[in-house]
Copies of this chain bind each other. A is one copy, B any other.
């Protein structure tokens, strides 16, 4: 049984690594021929909108999924008869920050205030009604902090507009949050739902650096699970879904959703009974979902830009390395590593120490 995957990055690669032991085959589609997933599965090379390649992917696959949320909804919609999961409606919503916020509001999930900014005049109006400081963001194609400008004063509105104009934009309140968390869960085609413990995430320059999980705040966990469940049920979702939240004064404010496996869930490979990757596959195939329980206290650190020395990393007791097979480039996610400890305190100490090892042992590879 073959799973077709649009996008062949590290998420696709880890999907395949989780799926082979289940007896699944994989076929990827990506713009590039040399991708993290193509190293270990057959791959079609061409545009994500190439109707002929998409038809071929559908023909050869039991179900089509995606490892990136910016794939073309319009192109996938044209695939008549193909099973696609997660649902395209969820993908379309996640692709538009404004639609996403409107959905959160509709479902009663607290989120940031925002307004479309289709003109400089709109932007001024939005800043007046929502207040400053705020963020001007592209509505579409944003990830890892790309397509965003922070605005502190009214005087900065025009420069921000000049920088991003051309794409549909929105203005959003800047929430002075205490920290960030995310919740990840799966819903199967048969309606079964399984939700992982909460992740606490730290970003640097808009890129995730560190996730610690489980982040034990029972009230937040319950609130996050409630929100996730609402979105899963709204879409009659199939697969893994992630929602990222700001935490402010002990309350959750939904920031964005990702209709896929998520960087903040990589700890589940070693730190939970069943990984997010395996549960995504079980969910889209209608198989029983696996146990989402944590096996200890995990810290996941991204390896960004250059790979640390492999000997140094593998010499760290109990460190799990995940190298995505990518060539180094500033700001690029090349891999991640995870440690699992028996207490949250031990986990936090190791995460701090490990961050130093990663910083100090960088080599050009």
Contact = CB atoms under 8 A, between A and B. Distances in A.
29 contacts: A16-B40, A17-B17, A17-B20, A17-B21, A20-B40, A20-B325, A21-B320, A21-B321, A21-B322, A21-B323, A22-B310, A22-B323, A23-B307, A23-B310, A23-B325, A23-B335, A25-B39, A40-B40, A40-B41, A273-B318, A282-B314, A287-B310, A287-B311, A287-B314, A288-B311, A288-B315, A290-B314, A291-B317, A291-B318
A212 interface: no
Interface in A297-323: 307, 310-311, 314-315, 317-318, 320-323
Contacts of A17: 17, 20-21
Contacts of A20: 13, 17, 39-40, 325
A238 B323 CA distance: 23
A304 to B, nearest CB: 15
A286 B41 CA distance: 28
Interface of A: 13, 16-17, 20-23, 25, 39-41, 273, 282, 287-288, 290-291, 295, 307, 310-311, 314-315, 317-318, 320-323, 325, 335
* Chain copies in complex: 2
A323 B24 CA distance: 9
Nearest to A317: B291
A273 B314 CA distance: 13
Closest 6 CB pairs of A and B: A23-B323, A288-B315, A21-B322, A288-B314, A40-B40, A287-B314
A288 B323 CA distance: 16
Contacts of A16: 40
A40 B40 CA distance: 5
